[in-house]
């Protein structure tokens, strides 16, 4: 980590959430900070697994990978790390996670303005304190964007805010295709069938497999790539066992490669997951599948996006596993419901 501040520029530190999707939806906050002060230099402190998302944001000058173990307080290590941050001369820090341990670092680093939500036992650590109504939480983009302004009970609609935006250059796309043996000249459909949060968010693997078969029958030149982490490997393998034309890349691609592949996709079909929000920020055509979560809380923002939810009486339950045991919110979301808008997206693809 460089210890020298950029001459003449006020520096701001963003403390990243641990979730990929949350990091993407925090990007409009950076846009607002840059609009207010175009000369502001923004650094991001992020876990290694989220860092590639921040590197795809043009507003970010540097990404500092956090060296801490997930869930551990590591107070001595945080103090030492904070002293290195102190020498960078930050004027402000925006603490996006709501936990105590993340708020400790800017305080220990002596950063004078420390902005964040109330969270757990953070009085004094956060000195510009925002509130969110837990009974009616703000949409995620609005939740983070609110930190750019003085604390207020008002919620700004996501439609009135900048859209999340990531950028990938042509060389990154070419490298990603070459690394996994896909053809850049053939249409690519990306499936994101995993969900880090839990199985309740997953559309059934049999539905994904049937959708893949329909795509290839109608568009024989299409390539289907299944993306996700290594944890999603078994789910993706189950799909590929029935849809042999699909490529299981879960755990094969690093996140920066997955981002580059998504940036080239003709369409993306995704559960409510981090990859969904990456596709949204890359402005790809998206079919977003919602079951136990609220499609209005964290929707996609692509020019061409379809959010599908049955909006059952029991939803959104926001549980990791179906508490009623039937998982109808995803089971009853049929392949045809997805195929109809997807077919229109593929038909509209520039030749």
Residue-level pLDDT, tens digit, the chain, 351 residues: 433 344 446 899 999 999 999 999 999 999 999 999 999 999 999 999 999 999 999 999 999 999 877 766 678 888 999 999 999 999 999 999 998 888 999 999 999 999 999 987 788 899 999 999 988 899 999 999 999 999 999 999 999 999 999 999 999 999 999 999 999 999 999 999 998 777 899 999 999 999 999 999 999 999 999 999 999 999 999 999 999 899 999 999 999 999 999 999 999 999 999 999 999 999 999 999 999 999 999 999 999 999 999 999 999 998 989 999 899 999 999 999 999 999 999 988 765
Three-state secondary structure readout of the chain = CCCCCCCCCCEEEEECCCCHHHHHHCHHHHHHHHHHCCCCEEEEEECCCCHHHHHCCCCEEEEEECCCCCCCCCHHHHHHHHHHHHCCCEEEEEECCCCHHHHHHHHHCCCCEEEEECCCCCECCECEEECCCCCCCCCHHHHHHHHHCCCCCCCCCHHHCCCCCCCCCHHHHHHHHHHHCCCCCCCEEEEECCCCCCHHHCCCHHHHHHHHHHHHHHCCCCEEEECCCHHHHHHHHHHHHHCCCEEECCCCCCHHHHHHHHHCCCEEEEECCHHHHHHHHCCCCEEEECCCCCCCCCCCCCCCEEEECCCCCCCCCCCCCCCCCCCHHHHCCCHHHHHHHHHHHHHCCCC
Instruction: Say what the pLDDT of residue 4 is.
Output: 38
Peptide bond into 179 cis (omega under 30): no
Does domain 11-155 fall under CATH 3.40.50.2000? My reply is yes
Per-residue pLDDT reduced to its tens digit, 150-167 = 999 999 999 999 999 999
Tokens encoding 3: 């210890």
Q: Distance between terminal CA atoms of the chain?
A: 46
CA pseudo-torsion sign 312, 319, 252, 1:
positive
Give the sign of the dihedral formed by CA 27, CA 28, CA 29, CA 34: positive
Report how far residue 87's alpha carbon sits from residue 103's, in angstroms, rounded to the nearest whole number: 18
Task: Round to whole Å and give the CA distance between 214 and 200.
Answer: 25
Q: Give residue 102's Cα distance to chain centre.
A: 19
Predicted pLDDT at 283: 97
Dist. CA 77–CA 318, nearest whole Å: 34
Quickly name the fold that domain 170-347 has. Answer: Rossmann fold (3.40.50)
Please, are residues 162 and 57 in contact by the beta-carbon 8 Å criterion? no
Q: Give backbone dihedrals phi and psi of 106, rounded to 5 degrees, phi first.
A: -60, -35
pLDDT value of position 72: 65
pLDDT at 10: 84
**Looking at residue 3, what is its pLDDT?**
36
* pLDDT score, position 338: 98
Q: What pLDDT score does 76 carry?
A: 84
Domain ranges of the chain: 11-155, 170-347
Q: The whole model's pTM is what?
A: 0.92
Select from 136, 167, 168 the least CA-distant residue to 153. Answer: 136
Same fold, 11-155 and 170-347: yes
């Amino acid at each position: 980590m460089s210890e020298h501040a950029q001459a003449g520029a006020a520096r701001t530190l963003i403390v990243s959430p641990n979730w990929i999707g949350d990091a993407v939806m925090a990007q409009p906050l950076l846009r607002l900070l840059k609009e207010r002060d175009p000369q502001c230099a923004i650094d991001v402190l992020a876990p290694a697994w989220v860092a590639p998302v921040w590197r795809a944001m043009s507003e970010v000058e540097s990404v500092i990978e956090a060296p801490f173990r997930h869930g551990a307080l590591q107070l001595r290590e945080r103090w030492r790390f904070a002293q290195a941050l102190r020498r960078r001369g930050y004027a402000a820090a925006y603490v996006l996670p709501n936990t105590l341990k993340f708020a400790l670092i800017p305080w220990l680093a002596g950063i004078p303005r420390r902005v964040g939500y109330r969270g757990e036992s953070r009085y004094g650590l956060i000195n510009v304190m925002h509130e969110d109504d837990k009974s009616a939480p703000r949409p995620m983009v609005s939740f983070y964007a609110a930190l750019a302004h003085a604390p207020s009970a008002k919620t700004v609609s996501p439609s009135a805010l900048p859209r999340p935006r990531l950028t990938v250059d042509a060389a990154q796309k070419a490298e990603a295709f070459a690394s996994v043996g896909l053809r850049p000249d053939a249409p690519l459909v990306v499936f994101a069938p995993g969900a880090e949060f839990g199985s309740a968010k997953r559309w059934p693997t049999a539905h994904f497999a049937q959708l893949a078969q329909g795509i290839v029958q109608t568009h024989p030149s299409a390539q289907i790539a299944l993306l996700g982490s290594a944890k999603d490997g078994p789910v993706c393998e189950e799909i590929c066992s029935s849809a042999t034309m699909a490529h299981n890349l879960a755990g094969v691609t690093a996140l920066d490669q997955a981002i580059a592949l998504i940036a080239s996709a003709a369409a993306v079909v995704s559960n409510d997951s981090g990859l969904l929000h990456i596709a949204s920020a890359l402005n790809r055509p998206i079919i977003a599948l919602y079951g136990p979560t609220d499609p209005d809380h964290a929707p996609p923002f692509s020019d061409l996006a379809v959010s599908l939810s049955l909006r059952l009486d029991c939803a959104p339950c926001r549980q990791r596993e179906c508490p009623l045991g039937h998982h109808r919110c995803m089971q009853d979301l049929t392949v045809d419901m997805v195929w109809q808008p997807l077919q229109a997206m593929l038909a509209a693809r520039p030749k």
